[in-house]
Amino acid sequence: MIIRERIFIRETVSSAMHARLEAIGKGKSHGYELKADSRQFTEVKKRLAHDHPLEKLLRNPNPVFDLADMLELSSQWLDATGNAIFLKVRNGFGDVSELWLLPALSFIIEKGADELPAYYTFFSDECKTFCR
């Protein structure tokens, strides 16, 4: 009887997590212009134009994943490890051209004296990425 209850609980939790992940992936993300002298949105939110670089990046963050897939995966990694880090890939002009979710086990977080993250140490496969 106890084994059946445990299996039922695992299946229920798994189903709930799956439903939440699907809901996260169905959300729409858009960029909005902030008021220049404030951290608040302007009273009339001004959505960025469809052809704005941020809007393009949100629609198609990289050649493999769309934003919905990346949000689902990042949510899974946050649930499992507590971390999800996006790598910004820049083009020759220095503009962000791609976003990639780094594997949750490809880095460690080094804490500072205040116990907050101070550094990220990344594990490499002999692959180097210029960061700024």
- Per-residue model confidence as pLDDT tens digits over 73-108: 888 888 888 888 888 899 999 999 999 988 877 887
Q: Is residue 22 part of a domain?
A: yes
Q: Is residue 127 part of a domain?
A: no
Question: What is the SS3 assignment for 106?
Answer: coil
Q: Is residue 129 part of a domain?
A: no
Count of structural domains within the chain: 1
CA distance 85 to 60: 17
CA distance 65 to 59: 10
Residue identified by tokens 């695992």 is 10
Q: Is 53 a residue whose pLDDT tops 80? A: yes
Q: Is residue 132 part of a domain?
A: no
Print the domain residue range for 19. 2-30+61-122
Return the number of other C-beta atoms located less than 10 Å from residue 97's C-beta.
16
User: What is the value of pTM for the model shown?
Assistant: 0.64
Q: Is residue 78 part of a domain?
A: yes
CA distance 108 to 122: 7
Task: Please work out, in degrees rounded to the nearest 5, the angle formed at the alpha carbon of residue 71 by the alpha carbons of 70 and 74.
Answer: 85
Q: Do residues 21 and 72 touch, judged by C-beta distance below 8 A?
A: yes
Q: Is residue 130 part of a domain?
A: no
Q: Do residues 76 and 103 touch, judged by C-beta distance below 8 A?
A: no
Please give the structure tokens belonging to residue 37.
Answer: 């002298």
* Stretch 102-127: mean pLDDT: 79
Q: Is residue 96 part of a domain?
A: yes
pLDDT of residue 10: 62
pLDDT category at 63 given cuts 50, 70, 90 is very high
Lowest mean pLDDT among 21-30, 43-52, 108-117, 121-130: 121-130
Q: Is residue 111 part of a domain?
A: yes
**Percentage of residues in the chain with pLDDT exceeding 70?**
70
